[in-house]
């Protein structure tokens, strides 16, 4: 292929300006070892039932994971996040974790903590993770299980979390702000801050399903907070508000109106990180599942995907007037949840306008202006 730009029109009518960029360094990769989960959280964008045969059959095998990891390391990867679904459902989780550690990677694990047992603790104490990160959905049984829809899940979550903390395993706690836990949210924040001195974050944004399940998408939308509620939560969180105020000139930037570039991707997708999907597909980020933006690793390599495929995707452009006038030149771009991945999940188009995202951005602006 020529090193100059090559103009191609994809199946959706987008212009693809292709240019091969050699020797870009990969810093980290997310490894989705499964889409299956033992919980059934209302807001989750990926989870499938534990006994879903198709999901299990499509999971990357341990041999495939080893090959992928070796390629990622050769491209410069230093960090790896093991995630899912619930990664501890994999019977070969110990093998996967140890292989990643022995390749010299700094390994983190996202888990719901309900399956943590003494064997996991023994593993993590002998080969410490960069961190174990888990989400606190509620601090009472009723709230927690109204979200997970799994009877008994609160008790096993607390058992798993206490096992981790009592054994001095590094734990990051996070929360998701939902309609179902809003009344209890400040108690959730206190619960997290009392147990860890360092890292805590909360996320008020819910993305839609990767599989475009309409019924599940309806549930996710019902769990979303209003723009005003999101802004209020952020205003009442001192750390978050301080960071937003400090970076106000970057978050609200009227100078964006002078930008003439029509590239769709101005986010960090595929710059230093990528996602190895639960079905063996390479994605630029966890949420980017547009059919033109995924690469089948069973038919190619991580090296080919990183060096050649990623630059092609990042050169996607749009000539849609609405995209350019409403989103691309908006001074609130950095306050907005909009990105090509989320736009596709919401509208079926990488450059689609999402009213809810826009309303959230303006609510955050009003909060910061106060």
Position 147 scores a pLDDT of 98
Topology annotation, domain 24-225+270-316:
TIM Barrel (3.20.20)
Q: What is the mean pLDDT of residues 338-350?
A: 97
User: How high is the pLDDT of residue 297?
Assistant: 98
pLDDT of 5 above 80:
no
pLDDT digits 0-9 by tens, 75-121: 999 999 999 999 999 999 999 999 999 999 999 999 999 999 999 99
Q: Which of 140-154, 229-243, 250-264, 319-333 has the lowest mean pLDDT?
A: 250-264
Per-residue pLDDT, averaged over 20-49, amounts to 89
Average model confidence (pLDDT) across the chain: 91
- pLDDT tier at 268, thresholds 50, 70, 90: very high
Segments making up each domain of the chain, as ranges: 24-225+270-316
In contact, 80 and 106? CB cutoff 8 Å: yes
The CA distance from 328 to 325, in Å, is 6
Q: Over the stretch 274-305, which tens digit does the pLDDT of each residue have?
A: 999 999 999 999 999 999 999 999 999 999 99
Band of pLDDT at residue 24, cut at 50, 70 and 90: low
Give mean pLDDT, residues 126-138: 97
User: What is the per-residue pLDDT for 237?
Assistant: 85
Phi-psi region of 41 (alpha: psi -120 to 50; beta: other; left: phi over 0): beta
β-pairing verdict for 273-276 and 281-283: antiparallel
The reported pLDDT for the residue numbered 198 is 64
Peptide bond into 160 cis (omega under 30): no
Q: Which of these, 343, 269, 261, lies nearest to 310 by C-alpha position?
A: 269
* Section 263-270 average pLDDT: 92
Give me the pLDDT at residue 57, please: 97
Q: How many residues does the chain have?
A: 370
Query: DSSP secondary-structure letter at 307?
Result: I
Annotate 175-222 with DSSP letters as a single string: EE--TTTGGGHHHHHHHHHHH-SS-EEEE---PPPTT--HHHHHHHHH
d(CA 198, CA 217): 33
What pLDDT shows up at residue 18? 36
Confidence of residue 23 (pLDDT cuts 50, 70, 90): low
- Residue 131 above 60 pLDDT? yes
User: What is the per-residue pLDDT across 158-169, written as a single tens digit (0 to 9) for each?
Assistant: 999 999 999 999
How does pLDDT run across 187-221, given as a tens digit for each residue? 999 999 999 876 678 999 999 999 999 999 999 99
Residue 139 has pLDDT above 60, yes or no: yes
pLDDT at 231: 95
- What is the average per-residue pLDDT within 340-350? 97
């Amino acid at each position: 292929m020529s090193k100059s730009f090559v103009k191609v029109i994809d199946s959706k009518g987008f212009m693809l300006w292709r240019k091969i960029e050699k020797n870009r360094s990969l810093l980290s990769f997310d490894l989705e070892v499964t889409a299956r989960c033992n919980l059934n959280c209302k807001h989750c964008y990926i989870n499938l039932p534990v006994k879903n045969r198709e999901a299990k059959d499509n999971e990357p095998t341990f041999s495939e994971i080893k090959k992928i990891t070796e390629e990622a390391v050769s491209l410069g990867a230093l960090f790896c996040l093991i995630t899912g679904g619930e990664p501890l459902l994999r019977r070969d989780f110990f093998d996967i974790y140890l292989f990643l550690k022995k390749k010299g990677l700094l390994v983190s694990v996202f888990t719901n903590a309900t399956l943590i047992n003494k064997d996991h603790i023994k593993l993590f104490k002998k080969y410490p993770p960069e961190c174990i990160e888990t989400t606190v959905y509620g601090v009472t049984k009723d709230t927690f299980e109204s979200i997970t829809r799994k009877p008994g899940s609160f008790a096993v979550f607390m058992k798993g979390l206490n096992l981790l903390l009592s054994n001095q395993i590094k734990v990051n706690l996070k929360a998701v702000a939902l309609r179902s836990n809003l009344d209890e949210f400040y108690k959730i924040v206190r619960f997290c801050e009392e147990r860890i001195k360092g890292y805590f974050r909360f996320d008020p944004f819910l993305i839609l399903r990767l599989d475009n399940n309409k019924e599940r998408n309806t549930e996710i939308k019902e769990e979303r907070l209003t723009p005003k509620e999101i802004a209020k939560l952020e205003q009442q969180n001192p750390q978050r508000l301080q960071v937003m105020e400090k970076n106000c000139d970057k978050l609200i930037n009227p100078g964006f109106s002078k930008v003439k570039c029509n590239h769709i991707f101005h986010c960090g997708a595929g710059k230093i990180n990528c996602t190895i999907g639960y079905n063996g597909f390479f994605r630029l980020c966890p949420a980017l599942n547009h059919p033109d933006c995924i690469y089948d690793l069973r038919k190619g390599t991580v090296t080919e995907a990183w060096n050649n495929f990623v630059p092609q995707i990042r050169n996607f452009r749009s000539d849609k007037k609405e995209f350019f006038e409403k989103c691309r030149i908006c001074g609130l771009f950095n306050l907005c949840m909009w990105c090509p991945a989320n736009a596709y999940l919401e509208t079926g188009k990488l450059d689609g306008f999402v009213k809810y995202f826009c309303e959230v951005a303006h609510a955050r602006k009003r909060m910061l202006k106060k």
